[in-house]
Structures are given as structure tokens and as C-alpha cells.
Structure 1
Amino acid sequence: MLAAAVVRPFGWPEAAVAVPAAALVVATGAISLDHLRAETDRLGDVVVFLAAVLVLAQLCDDDGLFRACGAWLARGTAARPRRLLGGVFVAASAITVVLSLDATVVLLTPVVFATAARLGMRPRPHLYACTHLSNTASLLLPVSNLTNLLAFAVSGLTFARFAALMALPWLVAVAVEYLVFRRFFGTDLDAAPPPVVAGDTPELPVFTLVTLAATLAGFVLTSALGIGPAWAAWAGALVLAVRALVRRRTTWRRLLRSLSLPFLAFVLALGIVVRAVVDNGLGTALGALVPSGTGLLALLGVAVLAAVLANVINNLPAVLVLLPLTVPSGPGAVLAVLIGVNIGPNLTYAGSLATLLWRRVVHAHDTEVSLREFTTLGLATVPACLVATVLALWVSLAVA
């Protein structure tokens, strides 16, 4: 399944192999019907929420939010690459937090590429920032990443409590990434770009921003009321969809395409197959490796194990495997898993689906990314981020 998701033979979607694989483990009895129902129920709400966010992100793009973001980046650089890098870090972090990492990879990356090209700057630091922050900056909210949603569902935390505990780790992780990027890409950032002529400034989509703010507030409210965040996400998507349809900025066919139904089927099928693998021995094998407790060393051990596992079997299967093993230790251990599976994928292409998707987007713009450079940058950022972020989480847990 993971090999097919990486290679995509004959241009097949991920679901082309995942759905038959899920059917196979069910047909052979590798997963019991009780566990099948439990896994479907657990992932059902997550898939519904993910569908809403995909539609919401596409409607924001249709309304010009990302074009306006690109114009803001261009205006704020003053023809200085280091300032552009800072702007990309701010934009990518904010978009990842509110619209999830897929929006940063699919919608912001092309905007950043076009902005750097228009300003005559070398694009490499800014493109790499998009993929790294799509993973690292997704730590803050339960809605920022599919892995977060899965962890949030079993953590026993409220939306606000989750965000409060992860605020300091999120800030530390983004700060470490920024410091490493400034040093790693020093040559590119010191290159003086040629003078450019200012272009037109797109109008800021105020209605879309207000709707996004209301949707974010809705996440907090639904959590307080014990309601799933999918309701708030779909409410925001519905408001923007009706407005876009009335103004003829989109069509029903385009909205349906934005749902990315094959990818949603892949997520559900992957959860079923991973549960079968866990039931047939992987859970027992990993159980002996997972540290117990919420001390600093225990949390660091959990995060490192999660990071390694994410690069071996992808971060989504990794979080599905590790959550049942860490829930007994409390929410601190669950959040340590998130740190590992969200930061760890910056080490290899196969670490997360978002990284694979980013690679396709970059290739679509006729730009090559070096595996050696990607891995070297990952070695420079991932260990430092893991240690610093786990330390920040330990502090948050201690003072909360």
C-alpha cells in the first residue's frame, strides 16, 4: 500500500491498492468484524472532517486568499531573501494551523514558488520551508493534521487544553526550524536578487478570512459542547460554497473534485490494514519498546520511536499503531507521539503523505529536489527539533 502511494504506478490513486488490501485482510479474517467496526467508527469522523477541510481550502484558494498571501510576501520582502523566508515561515505556519498541512503543500507551495521567481530569488529555501512547516507547524491544534485528530480523539483533552499544551512546543519547533534554515541556506539567502517591478496587489478576501476565523472559533465551541469538529468545518465550507456558487466562482463538479474521494478511501483503508497488522503481532512487538511514564526521558523516547516508525512505515500508520500503546500513560505520552510523527517525516520523502505530495508539486514546476539535500536538511533539523520540542512539552505539562 505504501509503495503504491509513493510510486503511484500508471498514475493510479492511492486507493487503487489500499481498498483491495483492506478487503483482503477482512476476507482472510486478519481483522475481526468487531475490530473492523471499531476502526471504521474511529476513522469515520476523521475522514468526514478531512473532507470538509479539503473543500474549505479549495474555496479559500478560489476566493484569492493564497494569491493575496503571495502579494503580501512580495511586498514585505523589500527585495531581501531572508525577509521572504521569514514571511514564508509566518504564512506557512498560519495556513498549516488553520487549514491543515495539505493546504500548505498543495496551495501555498506554488504561490511561494511564483513569488520567489517574480522577485528573482533562489526558490530552494522557501520551497523547503513549505514542506518542513507543513509537518512541524501542524503541532498546535487538533485540526492542523490528520494525525492530530486521531490523537485528539483518544487523548481526553479539550480543544483549548490541547492547544494550550502544544503552544510552547509549536513555537519552539518553528523557531528551531527557522534558525537551522537561515544557516543551512545561507548562500542562497545572501544572494542579491535583481531589481523587480512591483505588480498588481490582489484584493484581500475579507469575507473568507472572517469565515475562517468563525470556523476556528467553532472548533473551540464544538469541543466545549462535546461535538465533533467536523460540524464547524462543514459549516464554514458550506458558507463559502454557497457564496462561491452564487457568484459562479465554482461549480458542483469542482466542489466534488475537491473532496478527493480516492484519498479519503485510502485513509480509511489504511486504518483497517494497520489495525490488522497490529492485531497480528506488531502491537505486541512495539509494546516492549514504548517507554512508560511521562518523565522527560520517557517522553523523548516515545517521540524518537514515533519519528523512526514514521520514516519506516509513514506517519499515519505510525500514529495508528502507537496511540493504543501510549494512551494508558496519559495525554503527555500521546502528545509525545504527535511530536515524533509530525516532526520525524522531515527526514525522508516517505515519512508523510504531505511530503510526497509536496515533491509532486515541486516537480510539476520543473524544479528538481535532491534526495541528498533533503536528507541532509532533515538530519540538521529533525534531531534538534525533537529534543527541543519534547523539552518544551515536558515544561508545559509541568506548569499546566
Structure 2
Amino acid sequence: MAVAAVIVFLCAYGLLVTEKIHRTAVALGGAAIMLLLHVTDADHAFFSEETGIEWNVIFLLLGMMLIVSVLRQSGVFEYVAIWAAKRTRGRPYALMVMLCCLTALASALLDNVTTILLIAPVTFLVCERLGLRPVPFLMAEVFASNIGGTATLVGDPPNIIIAARAGLSFNDFLVHLAPIVLVLMVVFCLLCRWLFRADFVHDAERVASVMRLNEREAITDRLLLVKSLAVLVLVMLAFVLHPVLHYEPSVVALLGAGLLLLITDIDVADALREVEWPTLAFFAGLFIMVGGLVETGVIDHVAEATASWTEGRLPLATMVLLFGSAVLSAVVDNIPYVATMSPIVAELAAGHGESGHVLWWALALGADLGGNATAIGASANVVALGIAAREGHPISFWEFTKYGLVVTAVLVTLCAPYLWLRYL
């Protein structure tokens, strides 16, 4: 069954790369074949926390998509777009840096998927106003969201898994990962100047027209804006206070969406039409396929082999974990990978005493940053591609990946001397 799981996954991945078939059809088709071949079954695919669909991710996306759908109708995204364009005086590179920094900060406090859902509408509006191609800006924001989410316990789901297994606190992540994330963001912003240099075209006439606009006039429904922002603030607070409240982000998002629909006059059917249903279906299929790899022991075998190669040699184990996690997280979802790898890392870390904690930081950095490498490497990537396609600016697998590979290679490489000098 392990061989069948690998073959199905590789074939599906090949189809995703070629983009000859819609990615949602590929993911659902691959999941169906795994179920047909009994690589997995309904119990494991739909009800297992380890090998099934990550319903927390699905319903987090659904809830936040509904909140964003309602918030959009107040005109606030147009307001922020005009404000950002005026503050940067329409200069494309300065605008990209501003949006990326806002994205990284929000991802550290919330999660990278929620941040992309909020920042993407602003990006399309401001680029339309300034006559800029939105694709480079959206890709840069996705990279920034994955970088910023690395800094905190709540920023990326793998960090929550690592914290639970290693007994780490919110402050532990801030102390050990926030410093390198700040460095990575500076390097990333400089890297953007080179990566997207061809798209930094300045249109003086469009900039002048935007500078004459009054952003306050963009707000079309102030009462709706107040209600939407109040609910969004409550949702954000609940995300940050997760260690205290113990409500899963998915539950918080659904409660927020339900409350917002109840207290406003927005038509529910209109709000539901804004939901990225193909993206949610893609995630469901992808989770089932990756779950098949986990259930048949493929990922577990890779993890154990990695541990056996490095046992007893802390520096080697740290570097293998860092770069190996980055490579694997670019191909499979980093949530099941970290869930599978964490007990092995716990055993390795215990054998090295206090100094073994460096292995947890290597795992977190590799898994979180490795998601930038490909179009399906992280949840935020998939969501962004879905939004871009709906807005008429599709991003191909290769267009995203050719930039993502460069960003990942540079940033993960910078993490190596940080881990070595600080811990080894």
C-alpha cells in the first residue's frame, strides 16, 4: 500500500505541476483513487486527526472567507488601498515593502491564511488604482506571511504542534525565533527589489490621480464597517488568547462569521458566493492524499531514516532537520510532517539535554519557511492562488515556484549560521 500511496501522490503532483487539469480535480481525483485502492478509508480520511482532513483548517478558511466577504461590502479595502498608495506616494517598491511588513506582523499575531484573506483584496485594489500588475505583490505577501508566522507560537500551525510536544511557551518562540525572523524580513525586502524589479513601473498620471482622492469617501456603509471591525477585533483577540480561552481558531472564525451575519443585513447567499469553494475542496483532497502517505508509514519511514543518519551528532542533526524539513514541506503539507517528526525530534533532543532544544528550532524554521518553495507548500499559498484566479490574475505553479525556490533557498541558508552560532 505504501508503494501505491507514493505512486498516486507523485502522479497527482506531476499533474499539479503541468497544470493541464484543474488542481481541485487533481486533488479530489487523487484522494478518490487512494480511497478506491484502500490506501486509506472513510474513517481515516474523514475522522482521524493524524491522517484525515484537517477540518480545523477547512472551517477556519470558511469562517474567515465569510467575514472578509461581509467586510468587503463596507468599502474598507478601498480605503486601505488608497491610504497605502498615498503614504508611499505610489512608488511600487515602497508599496510592496509596506504591504509585506504589514502582512508579516499580522501573520505573527493571527495566522498566515487569515492574513492573506485580509490583505489580498487591498492588494488588488491598490494595484488597480496605480496600474500595477498585482501578481508580484500578492506573491511577496504570501512569502512574508510565511516568514512572519514563523516568529510566534500562533503564527503557523506546525509551531502549535511543536510547542505542545516540546513544552514550549509563546515567549519561547519570541525569544528564539523572532530575532532571526526580523533579519529574514530585512533580507527578504531587499531580495524583492531584485526579484520583482521588472514590475516596479511608475505611472506618474495614475499616482497623481490617486493622490487627489479622499480615502474616507471610499467607505460606503459606516454602520456595516463598525460592526464588521468589531467582530474582526473580537476574532483576532480570541486567536491571540487561544492558550487561555482554549477555543480552536476554526471555532472562533465560525462564531465570528455567524455573529456578523446575524447582526448585519447582508444576504447570506451573497456572502456564500464569495467563498473560495474550489480552494476548500482542493485542501480536502490534498489532506486525504497526504494522510495516505502518513497512514502507510511513508512519511514516518523518511523521518526515522533521517533520525538514524544523525543520531548522536547534534550539529549534523540540526542541519539535516533544517534543510530536510524545508525540502519536505515544499512537497507535502507541513502539518502532518511536523506531527510525524515531532516524537522523533523529542527523542533526539532528550538525548542531548538542554542543548537539544536547537532541534526544535531547526524543525520549526525548516517546516515554516520551506512552505514558500512551491505553490502548494503552505496553506497561504493555495489560498492566494485561488483568490488570484478568481480576480482574473491567475498565478501558475511554475511562476510561483521559480520565485519561491529562490526565497526559500536564501532564507533557510541564512538560518543555518544563526542556529550554529547561537546554539552549537
TM-score past 0.5 threshold? yes
Q: Which of 196, 204, 216 is equivalent to 1:194?
A: 204
Matching residue's letter, 1:132: F
Q: Which residue does 2:284 correspond to in 1? A: 265
- Shift of the alpha carbon at 1:289? 1.8
Q: Which residue does 1:340 correspond to in 2? A: 366
- Shift of the alpha carbon at 1:166? 3.4
Which residues in structure 2 correspond to 1:294-313 (within 5 Å)? 298-313=317-332
SS at match of 1:39: coil
Contact kept in structure 1, 2:290 and 2:332, CA below 8 Å: no
Structure 2 unmatched runs, 5+: 1-8, 350-356
Q: Which residue does 2:167 correspond to in 1? A: 156
- Shift of the alpha carbon at 1:273? 1.3
Q: Which residue does 2:384 correspond to in 1? A: 358
Which residues in structure 2 correspond to 1:132-147 (within 5 Å)? 132-147=143-158
- How many angstroms apart in 2 are the aligned matches of 1:395 and 1:227? 38
- How many angstroms apart in 2 are the aligned matches of 1:120 and 1:90? 22
Contact kept in structure 2, 1:141 and 1:162, CA below 8 Å: yes
Deviations 1:20-53 (A, max 9, x none): 345346x4679997xx746269945555555444
Matching residue's letter, 1:9: I
Contact kept in structure 1, 2:147 and 2:184, CA below 8 Å: yes
SS at match of 1:131: helix
Q: 75-84 or 47-56: which moved more?
A: 47-56
Change (3 A) 1:184 1:288: same
Change (3 A) 1:22 1:95: farther
Q: Which of 292, 301, 304 is equivalent to 1:287?
A: 304
Deviations 1:280-328 (A, max 9, x none): x442243222446896654332121011112344545544543343243
- How many angstroms apart in 2 are the aligned matches of 1:105 and 1:218? 18
Report the count of equivalent residues. 391
Contact kept in structure 2, 1:315 and 1:341, CA below 8 Å: yes
Contact kept in structure 2, 1:215 and 1:236, CA below 8 Å: yes
Would you say 1:9 and 2:26 are equivalent positions? Answer: no
Matching residue's letter, 1:323: S
Matching residue's letter, 1:383: A
Would you say 1:218 and 2:238 are equivalent positions? Answer: yes
Q: Which residue does 2:407 correspond to in 1? A: 381
Deviations 1:140-168 (A, max 9, x none): 34444444454455443344544554322
Contact kept in structure 1, 2:51 and 2:292, CA below 8 Å: no
- Shift of the alpha carbon at 1:120? 3.5
Q: 389-398 or 342-351: which moved more?
A: 389-398
- Shift of the alpha carbon at 1:55? 4.0
Which residues in structure 2 correspond to 1:99-114 (within 5 Å)? 100-105=111-116, 108-114=119-125
**TM-score normalised by L of structure 1:** 0.76
- How many angstroms apart in 1 are the aligned matches of 2:236 and 2:331? 33
**TM-score normalised by L of structure 2:** 0.72
Change (3 A) 1:180 1:28: closer
Would you say 1:78 and 2:89 are equivalent positions? Answer: yes
- Shift of the alpha carbon at 1:344? 2.1
- Shift of the alpha carbon at 1:132? 1.9
Matching residue's letter, 2:293: V
Contact kept in structure 2, 1:270 and 1:317, CA below 8 Å: no
Deviations 1:322-364 (A, max 9, x none): 3343243456534433322332233333434543453454455
- How many angstroms apart in 2 are the aligned matches of 1:63 and 1:51? 20
Q: Which residue does 1:129 correspond to in 2? A: 140
Q: Which residue does 2:268 correspond to in 1? A: 251
- Shift of the alpha carbon at 1:171? 2.1
Change (3 A) 1:273 1:171: same
Identical-residue share of aligned pairs (%): 23
- Shift of the alpha carbon at 1:255? 4.5
Change (3 A) 1:336 1:241: farther
Q: Which residue does 1:174 correspond to in 2? A: 185
Contact kept in structure 2, 1:158 and 1:224, CA below 8 Å: no
Q: 127-136 or 218-227: which moved more?
A: 218-227
Q: Which of 74, 79, 98 is equivalent to 1:68?
A: 79
- How many angstroms apart in 2 are the aligned matches of 1:208 and 1:161? 33
Change (3 A) 1:176 1:314: same
Q: Which residue does 1:349 correspond to in 2? A: 375
- How many angstroms apart in 1 are the aligned matches of 2:404 and 2:27? 29
Q: Which residue does 2:126 correspond to in 1? A: 115
Matching residue's letter, 1:286: A
- RMSD value, Cα: 4.3
